[in-house]
Structure 1
Amino acid sequence: MKGELVTAHSDPSTSTGLMLWRVTNSWQRAIRAALAPFGLTHVQFVLLATLTSMGRATPVTQRDLADQAATDVMMTSQVLRVLEDKQLIERAPHPEDRRARTLTPTAAGVALVNRANTAVEDADRAYFAALGAATRDFTRLLGTLDNAHRAAS
């Protein structure tokens, strides 16, 4: 069987996982291009946008942000250091937990993430335009997968 792949798929385009891989890669290229003028990586954008959207009513910790953004805590910590070095976020002592630090976007961070978000939303619209009216259903189905697998982890 040298050189032969044993698969249930008659054609690569019938593999849901492979198609998701291909689409994810091309979508990420589009998002990287949209974010390049802002000097942000995709994960920097996601964390800064998520932090900004969480508001300031209650203190936000690194763990809170990682949970909300569905990112690894250690990777989140590394990215937050970069965002802090870029003066896009600030860390301060947590009012109740001496071990934790609160996260707040700076005014420059909020301004940058809002400009970048416009570019990302434009890139999303352009990328998913091929789906036409099915975009809403596609987004709903992605949400179903996200909810099912977030609950399992």
Structure 2
Amino acid sequence: MSKAIEFHFKSPNDSPGYLLGQLTMLWQRKLKKVLDPLSLTQTQFVLLAALGWLSKKNDSVTQTEIASQSNADRMMVSKVLRTLVDKRFITRQEHATDTRAKVIKLTNEGSIVLQKALIAVEETDIAFFVSLEATLSSFNKTMVQLIDSNS
């Protein structure tokens, strides 16, 4: 007879990692439904949104800044940005002073699709998290704390 496996948690619902994984998968399914009609994956949306945020303050946003803003792997960002160029949502140009850097800009088509995606994703977020109502701000602060302490 094999030895019984021992778990630290009494049930899956006592495991924060398990619950976070389950919640993430549910949320990602909801986002996929609203992003698919816009020909965007969640990763593409995240990078476009990061570019949108960064472009509000800086006219010369680089791939590195997008990777940092989105907390994403630089190589993956480069690959996804190439796909967004192919879709004509962004342009990639040489940086004026740093020959190693690429400046990323939204195209008109990219701005339109990003605006549509932002509306759809924000509506989806509101609907998904509605049951938290009064505790949403505290939930968000806790997530930021976890991100900061594990980065």
Cα distance between partner residues in 2 of 1:55 and 1:7: 47
Percent of residue pairs bearing the same amino acid type: 36
Match of 2:49 in 1: 49
Match of 1:117 in 2: 118
Deviation of 1:2 after TM superposition, in Å, equals 3.3
Deviates more, 1:78-87 or 1:3-12: 3-12
Q: Deviations over 1:64-84 (max 9, x none)?
A: 110111000010011000000
Match of 2:19 in 1: 19
Q: Deviations over 1:83-124 (max 9, x none)?
A: 000010001110001122111111110111011110001111
SS in 1 for 2:129: helix
SS in 1 for 2:55: coil
SS in 1 for 2:60: coil
Counterparts in 2 of 1:24 and 1:3: CA distance versus 1, 3 Å = farther
Deviates more, 1:73-82 or 1:132-141: 132-141
Match of 2:127 in 1: 126
Cα distance between partner residues in 1 of 2:86 and 2:10: 50
Q: Which amino acid aligns with 2:9?
A: H
Cα distance between partner residues in 1 of 2:36 and 2:99: 37
1:52-67, aligned counterparts within 5 Å? Answer: 52-55=52-55, 57-67=58-68
Cα distance between partner residues in 1 of 2:115 and 2:4: 49
Q: Which amino acid aligns with 1:30?
A: K
Q: Structure 1: state its 5+ residue gaps.
A: none
Root-mean-square deviation (Å): 1.4
Cα distance between partner residues in 2 of 1:115 and 1:121: 10
Q: Does 1:140 align with 2:141?
A: yes
How many pairs were matched up? Answer: 150
Runs (4 or more) in structure 1 with deviation over 4 Å come to none
Counterparts in 2 of 1:138 and 1:97: CA distance versus 1, 3 Å = same
Cα distance between partner residues in 1 of 2:23 and 2:2: 29
Deviation of 1:5 after TM superposition, in Å, equals 3.0
Cα distance between partner residues in 2 of 1:3 and 1:86: 54
Q: Which amino acid aligns with 1:9?
A: F
Deviation of 1:58 after TM superposition, in Å, equals 4.2
SS in 2 for 1:6: coil
Q: Does 1:6 align with 2:23?
A: no
Q: Does 1:105 align with 2:106?
A: yes
Q: TM-score, normalised by structure 1?
A: 0.92
Cα distance between partner residues in 1 of 2:104 and 2:79: 14
SS in 2 for 1:71: coil
